[in-house]
Structure 1
Amino acid sequence: PSFVKLDVSDLPELLAAFSLGPVYGIVVTFLKNLLFSVLHGTSSAYVGELFNFVMGSVFSFSAGYIYSRNKSRKGALIGAVVGAALMAVLSVPFNYLLVYPAYVVCYGLPLDAIIGMYQAILPSSDSLIKCLTIFNMPFTFFKGMLDVVLCFLIYKPLSPLLHK
């Protein structure tokens, strides 16, 4: 579906959570979504932006919290992987109970049409929960892990700037 996008927009909040603490990860997540909304408006009646804020907050807060308890490379890795996993797992009930029903109401897009977008990839995807479990959950985890890899590549060189 066109509203499922691969990006690295959670990277700044992960950097903030590691360098300043978990609450700052949430603050950066909020600012990122606010700035995006002001500059680009919304194509999802703000449902996508709100969902992005919630998932980004889960990711950055959990990663930053675990890292704050064990300030080591291993603590950062464990925190980031746990954050990505939580984001992926929680995306299923949030999408199922809130986001996709909101898309149906806001866009008048029938749920069958949404499922049809997934069936173009895998014809046996015949229910929303199946689509979310087979596609969205692994996709969300992969997206989070991409941010983790990039964070690990750039955190150390940026560290002197982030801690000033």
Structure 2
Amino acid sequence: MYNQVSAKKSIFSTSSMVKISILSILSYLIMFIEFPVMFFPAFLKLDFSDIPAIICGFSLGPVAGIFVELIKNLLHFVTKSSTGGVGEFANFLVGGGFVFVSSGIYYINKNKKNAILGCIAGTVAMAVIGGIANYYILIPFYSNMFPIEAIVKMGSVVNSAIVDVKTLIYYAVIPFNLIKGIVVSFITAVLYKKVSMVLK
């Protein structure tokens, strides 16, 4: 298991802070590139802004990855937020959960097995936290602007099994985050070895 004190020192070194800053800005920029996924409600859009944070977490540790998620969402809140910070907070919880779990497992012992286990566990964490965040934070927020029925209807249009908020979470939000976690994990696996040498 990695030494917490040395990890803190490395995170706050000049070199690490520069890397975290660059990856945070990259993550923030990628956040603007999002697109809907077939068979899911239009408000669930896929983006790959968690990838720089995961790569940072794999290289510098889970706390560094969390910093990338935090800075990314703070930048988005200051420049683009349409939810008064609610969307960014939920995004931080979901992305941060994935990054912390996946990179935390990998960072204990950097090998292929832990990378796979970390990504699987991170994907499950993303799905669970995504469901909770939508149920308790995002959907209640949007219900102030749109009736709950209208939000549910967006889901029932693509899946007739969606009839209320709970089924929206079960049949749309959780499966969407599982798919997102798998896709993000795959892309991270392809990119990490190519960029990890630069981050050492």
Could you tell me the TM-score, scaled by structure 2's length? 0.76
Q: How many residues align?
A: 160
Alignment of 1:70 with 2:104, yes or no, is no
Name the SS of the counterpart of 1:126 in structure 2: coil
Give 1:6-155 correspondences, 5 Å limit: 6-39=46-79, 41-105=80-144, 107=145, 109-155=146-192
Are the equivalent residues in 2 in contact too, given 1:21–1:68 (CA < 8 A)? yes
Are the equivalent residues in 2 in contact too, given 1:92–1:129 (CA < 8 A)? no
Aligned partners of 2:105 and 2:161: how far apart in 1?
39
Instruction: State the 4+ residue runs in structure 1 displaced beyond 6 angstroms.
Output: none
Are the equivalent residues in 2 in contact too, given 1:115–1:127 (CA < 8 A)? yes
Note the C-alpha offset of 1:93.
2.2
Name the SS of the counterpart of 1:125 in structure 2: coil
Aligned partners of 1:59 and 1:6: how far apart in 2?
15
AA aligned opposite 1:103: Y
AA aligned opposite 1:128: V
Taking only aligned residues, the RMSD between alpha carbons, in angstroms, comes to 1.3
AA aligned opposite 1:162: L
- More contact order relative to length (CA 8 Å, sep ≥ 6): 1
Aligned partners of 1:144 and 1:46: how far apart in 2?
23
Aligned partners of 1:75 and 1:123: how far apart in 2?
39
AA aligned opposite 2:56: A
Note the C-alpha offset of 1:97.
1.9
Taking only the aligned residue pairs, the percentage that are identical comes to: 36
Deviations 1:13-58 (A, max 9, x none): 100110000001110001111222334x112332111100011111
Unaligned runs of 5+ in 2: 1-40
Note the C-alpha offset of 1:104.
1.1
Deviations 1:70-89 (A, max 9, x none): 21011111111101111102
Deviations 1:70-124 (A, max 9, x none): 210111111111011111022222211222112112x2x1100000100111223
Unaligned runs of 5+ in 1: none
Are the equivalent residues in 2 in contact too, given 1:10–1:144 (CA < 8 A)? no
Name the SS of the counterpart of 2:193 in structure 1: helix
Aligned partners of 1:57 and 1:100: how far apart in 2?
19
